């Protein structure tokens, strides 16, 4: 459903993405592995439209969306749950979630259904729904961020380092949630440093280094690959 | 005691006008992240539109205020499209310089067409009300009621509607707002329109007890800056309460200390409050 062909992205003269081509099919859970600064977030922001690609083509379900605005991409069903969450800290949890459904604002009934579903998925948010999002713990804020992204009813959900800075037990819960979201039919692209846990739930993975995709393969290939184990799993 | 209450009423009048102007400034600050120096000029243009709608077109005071709100909202949006939007990737200092440019430009245009004369809008409400021994000109009551109902309406708009929430969302986290599909252009234009309309209504309400002239926005703008710095840049309750603080201190200080120094009081207060609480009174704790 998502296809990138030879995408470049630049910060001034620095090439942060260099000829990135990848393809994700509907229903897949694909992991993007890479060290800090390899270009994971840049790739996500380019797909989301926050950055304009300097070259290449991005299509969604065959439709060219290269260089479109972020709002157009959210409309097209590509929603990113960003690194660092980027919540609206002074607004209540409920309001954050409702704004997640901004593109579906005319469909009140549908929005309430999605909201109920999300609150059932994260019962703690139901309890905290009237508190400002900025007052929640890191793990709870991550739930709000994932919930807000889901309110957009994405066809493709991109999660950028959802486990960053969370306690191990919460990390486990985040991965379980990602897996269940995928099982419900949402295509997922997951960027993670926590390679082992991510690969365990993935169908396939790409490895990005210095802005280039250097390797790809399915879960077994990746888990068995010596270079991947050395670089990202540490065993 | 009566004299004191009388000054409180005067303070409320001033404070509600300052609050309206500061609200627009603080809303735009949330979007631009730069103080919009042109805001005082929008206020001035609002007063002129109001004046000429009444004197040349012979229309009713309320129609004139509505016309001023519409014209200045449009002017404000034009400034955003023509000046601030093209500068959105430029360093913040460019916005500031451009804003000062708009201020000078608008003042020069007004002065060229209408001259530097002082003009006066005649209030249709010249009655003096007597409330328990306090005298209150009807125009002042109108200012207080009008300003506070507008603030109330704005509050409801920002809190209860989805479009209002997009303005707040954009101020709290720009990238987060993009990622939920909020269109930055739409929000920016809407914010500028609201800020312009608020400034024009404030000018229209205040003009009958004040004068209309090209430089009338200067002091109001400076005080609005003091207010949003006091209240915390970008804070909406801060703008309202800051407006009242400045209004009251000016009225009371002008009466009990010296009316010559009444315009200085706001700035003295700024120095005092910032040396005690450098982040302003209502800066949000969570960021």
**Tens-place pLDDT, residues B21-38:** 999 999 999 887 878 999
In a domain, B221, yes or no: no
- Report the C-alpha gap between B3 and B9 in whole angstroms: 10
Count of alpha carbons within 13 Å of B149, Cβ hemisphere only?
8
Q: Which residues of chain A lie closer than 8 angstroms to B178, CB-CB?
A: 48-50, 70-71
In a domain, B271, yes or no: no
Cβ neighbourhood burial of B82 (10 Å; 0-12, 13-18, 19+): exposed
Secondary structure of chain B: what % helix, strand, coil (to 5)? 75, 5, 20
Strands A156-160 and A2-11: unpaired
Q: Which residues of chain B lie closer than 8 angstroms to A88, CB-CB?
A: 168-169, 172-173, 176-177
Question: CB-CB: which of B178, B179, B286 is closest to A134?
Answer: B286
**Contact yes or no for B61/B124 (Cβ under 8 A):** yes
- Minimum CA–CA partner of A145 in chain B: B176
pLDDT tens digit string along A41-52?
999 999 999 999
Distance to chain B for A225, nearest Cα, Å: 35
How many domains does chain B contain in total?
1
Q: Which residues of chain B lie closer than 8 angstroms to A91, CB-CB?
A: 165, 168-169, 172
Q: Chain B contact for A102, CB < 8 A?
A: yes
pLDDT higher than threshold 80 for residue B177:
yes
Most confident range (mean pLDDT) of B96-105, B125-134, B264-273 is B96-105
**Contact yes or no for A151/A114 (Cβ under 8 A):** yes
Phi and psi for B211 in degrees, rounded to 5? Answer: -115, 160
In a domain, B227, yes or no: no
C-beta neighbour count of B41 within 10 angstroms: 31
Residue B190: predicted pLDDT: 95
Residue B284: predicted pLDDT: 55
Rounded (10°) CA dihedral A154, A207, A25, A68: 50
The pLDDT confidence band at residue B136, using thresholds 50, 70 and 90, is: confident
- Report the C-alpha gap between B110 and B48 in whole angstroms: 8
C-beta neighbour count of B193 within 10 angstroms: 19
- Per the structure block, which two tokens stand in for A146? 């994932």
In a domain, B268, yes or no: no
Question: CB-CB: which of A70, A82, A105 is closest to B162?
Answer: A105
CA nearest A197: which of A214, A218, A178, A216?
A178
Architecture of the domain spanning A1-77+155-235: 3-Layer(aba) Sandwich (3.40)
CA nearest A77: which of A177, A148, A152, A185?
A152
- Per the structure block, which two tokens stand in for B223? 């005080």
CB within 8 A of A171, min separation 6: which ones? A163, A194, A197
Q: Chain B contact for A89, CB < 8 A?
A: yes
- Report the C-alpha gap between A37 and A45 in whole angstroms: 14
- Minimum CA–CA partner of B176 in chain A: A86
- Report the C-alpha gap between A49 and A53 in whole angstroms: 8
Where do the domains of chain A lie?
1-77+155-235, 86-153
- Minimum CA–CA partner of B184 in chain A: A71
CA nearest A100: which of B125, B179, B10?
B179
pLDDT higher than threshold 50 for residue B285:
no
Q: How far apart are the first and last CA of chain B?
A: 44
Question: CB-CB: which of A87, A101, A152 is closest to B176?
Answer: A87
Residue B40: predicted pLDDT: 96
What's CA A109's distance to the chain center, in Å?
26
Between chain A and chain B, the number of residue pairs with CB atoms below 8 A apart is 80
Angle (deg, nearest 10), helices B39-55 and B92-114: 20
CB contact under 8 A, B182 and A99: yes
Residue B76: predicted pLDDT: 97
pLDDT tens digit string along A63-118?
999 999 999 999 999 999 999 999 999 999 999 999 999 999 999 999 999 999 99
- Report the C-alpha gap between A115 and A136 in whole angstroms: 19
Q: Which residues of chain A lie closer than 8 angstroms to B286, CB-CB?
A: 89-90, 132, 134-135
Residue of B164, B169, B179, B238 for testing the chain A interface, max A β-carbons within 10 Å: B179
Question: CB-CB: which of B169, B173, B286 is closest to A135?
Answer: B286
Residues 120-149 of A with CB under 8 A from B: 132, 134-135, 148-149
- Minimum CA–CA partner of A79 in chain B: B179
- Mean pLDDT estimate for chain B: 91
| Domain, as residue range, for B103 | 19-216
Question: CB-CB: which of A102, A134, A135 is closest to B182?
Answer: A102
What's the alpha-carbon Rg for chain A, to the nearest Å?
17
**Contact yes or no for B195/B25 (Cβ under 8 A):** yes
Q: Chain B contact for A112, CB < 8 A?
A: no
pLDDT tens digit string along B98-131?
999 999 999 999 999 999 999 998 888 888 888 7
- Report the C-alpha gap between B152 and B147 in whole angstroms: 9
- Minimum CA–CA partner of A72 in chain B: B181
């Amino acid at each position: 459903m998502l296809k990138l062909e030879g995408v470049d992205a630049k910060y001034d003269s620095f090439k942060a993405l260099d000829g990135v081509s990848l393809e994700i099919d509907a229903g897949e859970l694909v992991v993007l592995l890479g060290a800090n600064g390899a270009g994971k977030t840049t790739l996500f922001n380019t797909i989301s439209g926050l950055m304009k690609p300097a070259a290449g083509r991005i299509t969604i379900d065959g439709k060219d969306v290269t260089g479109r605005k972020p709002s157009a991409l959210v409309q097209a069903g590509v929603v990113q749950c960003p690194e660092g969450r980027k919540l609206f800290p002074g607004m209540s949890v409920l309001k954050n979630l409702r704004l997640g459904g901004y593109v579906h604002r005319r469909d009140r009934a549908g929005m309430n259904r999605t909201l109920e579903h999300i609150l059932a998925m994260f019962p703690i948010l139901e309890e905290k729904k009237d508190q400002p999002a900025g007052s929640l713990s890191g793990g709870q804020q991550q739930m709000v961020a994932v919930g807000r992204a889901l309110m957009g009813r994405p066809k493709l959900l991109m999660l950028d380092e959802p486990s960053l800075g969370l306690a191990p037990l919460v990390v486990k819960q985040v991965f379980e949630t990602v897996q269940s979201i995928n099982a419900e039919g949402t295509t997922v692209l997951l960027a993670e440093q926590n390679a082992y846990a991510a690969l365990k739930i993935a169908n396939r993975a790409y490895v990005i280094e210095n802005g280039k995709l250097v390797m790809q393969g399915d879960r077994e290939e990746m888990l068995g690959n010596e270079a991947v184990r050395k670089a990202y799993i540490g065993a | 005691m009566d004299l004191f209450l009388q000054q409180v009423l005067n303070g409320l009048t001033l404070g509600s006008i300052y609050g309206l102007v500061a609200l627009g400034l603080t809303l735009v600050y949330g979007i631009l992240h730069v103080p919009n120096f042109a805001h005082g000029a929008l206020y001035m243009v609002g007063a002129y539109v109001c004046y000429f709608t009444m004197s040349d077109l012979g229309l009713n005071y309320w129609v004139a205020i509505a016309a001023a709100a519409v014209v200045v909202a449009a002017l404000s949006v034009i400034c955003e499209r023509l000046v601030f939007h093209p500068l959105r990737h430029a360093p913040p200092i460019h916005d500031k310089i451009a804003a000062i440019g708009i201020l000078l430009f608008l003042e020069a245009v007004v002065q060229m067409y209408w001259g530097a004369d002082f003009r006066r809008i005649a209030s249709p409400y010249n009655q003096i009300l007597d409330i328990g021994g306090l005298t209150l000109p009807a125009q002042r009551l109108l200012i207080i009621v009008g300003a506070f109902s507008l603030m109330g309406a704005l509050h409801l708009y920002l809190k209860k509607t989805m479009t209002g929430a997009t303005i707040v969302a954009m101020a709290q986290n720009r990238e987060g707002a993009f990622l939920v599909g909020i269109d930055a252009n739409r929000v920016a234009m809407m914010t500028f329109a609201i800020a312009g309309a608020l400034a024009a209504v404030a000018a229209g309400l205040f003009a009958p007890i004040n004068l209309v002239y090209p430089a009338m926005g200067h002091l109001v703008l400076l005080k609005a800056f003091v207010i949003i710095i006091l209240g915390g840049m970008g804070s909406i309750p801060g703008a309202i309460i800051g407006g009242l603080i400045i209004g009251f201190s000016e009225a009371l200080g002008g009466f009990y200390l010296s009316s010559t120094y009444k315009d200085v009081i706001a700035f003295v207060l700024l120095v005092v409050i910032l040396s005690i609480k450098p982040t302003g009174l209502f800066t949000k704790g969570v960021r």
